[in-house]
């Protein structure tokens, strides 16, 4: 069974930093592209960032929505089956539940599996 468990959400001051983690199990983590999606309180979904799977290489491609470019960094540790999102220079508008998602399957880039989410609150 595919399981994704996010952690690391917290209350942080504007300008602060936070690192989210997503522990994956039930599948070959290294083979799958992974994505972070967020949802501000009472609002819709927003795609945040994506990292490709290894496909036998140590090179990964990463992608970001414009509002987080230069502030957020997505990474993965395949030895630990864990996805990360390093968030720096946090702003009030980054307040949201952050979901870790896995593609439905190889070549099927829809988010077929979701974690339960972790709440990040940026406030003074």
34 contacts: CB under 8 Å, gap ≥ 6: 22, 24, 50, 51, 53, 74, 76, 83, 100, 101, 102, 103
Question: Which range, of 12-20, 23-31, 77-85, 108-116, touches other proteins by CB under 8 A?
Answer: 108-116
Question: Which range, of 8-16, 21-29, 77-85, 113-121, touches other proteins by CB under 8 A?
Answer: 113-121
50 contacts: CB under 8 Å, gap ≥ 6: 33, 34, 35, 36, 62, 63, 74
**Bridge partners, residue 116, by sequence:** none
By beta-carbon proximity to other proteins, the closer residue of 13 and 45 is 45
Per-residue tokens: 37: 């999606």
User: Would you count residue 53 as binding other proteins (CB under 8 A)?
Assistant: no
By beta-carbon proximity to other proteins, the closer residue of 4 and 12 is 4
User: Would you count residue 117 as binding other proteins (CB under 8 A)?
Assistant: yes
User: Would you count residue 8 as binding other proteins (CB under 8 A)?
Assistant: no
Provide the binding-site residues for other proteins, judged by CB under 8 A: 37, 44-47, 50, 63-66, 99, 104, 108-112, 114-117
């Amino acid at each position: 069974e595919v399981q994704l468990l996010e952690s690391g959400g917290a209350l942080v001051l504007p300008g602060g930093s936070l690192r989210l983690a997503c522990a994956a199990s039930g599948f070959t983590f290294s083979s799958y592209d992974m994505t972070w999606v967020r949802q501000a309180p009472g609002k819709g979904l927003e795609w945040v960032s994506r990292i490709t799977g290894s496909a036998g290489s140590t090179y990964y491609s990463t992608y970001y929505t414009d509002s987080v470019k230069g502030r957020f960094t997505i990474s993965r540790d395949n030895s630990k089956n864990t996805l990360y999102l390093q968030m720096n220079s946090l702003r009030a508008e980054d307040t949201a539940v952050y979901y870790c998602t896995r593609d439905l399957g190889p070549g099927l880039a829809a988010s077929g599996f979701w974690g339960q989410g972790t709440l990040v609150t940026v406030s003074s």
